[in-house]
Amino acid sequence: MIKLIRFVGLIIQSILIEFLHVFGLVAFLLAAALGYFRAPSWLVPIVGIVCGIVADKFIDQTEVIALLERAASANQRGGFLVIVYIIIVAVGYVAGAYARGAMHRRKVAQATPSPVAKQPQAANPAAKQPQRRKRS
């Protein structure tokens, strides 16, 4: 259990490092756009793996190593970085899908007219009185 808690803490620190680099934020926004525009969810691991490999091969992380030294050393391993980016992209995808749903609910709420309160019949003389049927 302790190892799991340490691993989760290490992933959170690594996500923070990747957001300090602009590329982590770019990956998050890309995934949010995928979720917003209803792209298939199977793209999430693919985008996460691609972003993790790009971050591992092309992004220099030496300027933030002093901040979180342990997480920075874990980020040197490509497999760990891929896991971090899959998590970033998955959370971004869900956030984008949620944002789309929230905007849709707001549009529906604005489009439907609010029910007008009915006035009592005594105050409204133009209202018809209900007709009674004659029973034979």
Nearest to 92 by CA among 131, 36, 51: 36
Collapsed DSSP state (helix, strand, coil) of residue 88: helix
Residue type, 96: G
pLDDT at res. 126: 58
pLDDT at res. 95: 92
10 Å CB burial of residue 113 (0-12, 13-18, 19+) is exposed
Collapsed DSSP state (helix, strand, coil) of residue 117: coil
Q: Do the Cβ atoms of 35 and 94 come closer than 8 Å?
A: yes
Asked, for residue 121, whether it belongs to a domain, the answer is no
Number of compact structural domains in the chain:
1
State which residues form the domain around 104.
2-111
Asked, for residue 18, whether it belongs to a domain, the answer is yes
What would the two tokens of residue 56 be? 């591992």
pLDDT in tens, 55-106: 888 877 666 666 666 666 776 776 788 888 899 999 999 999 999 988 888 8
pLDDT at res. 65: 61
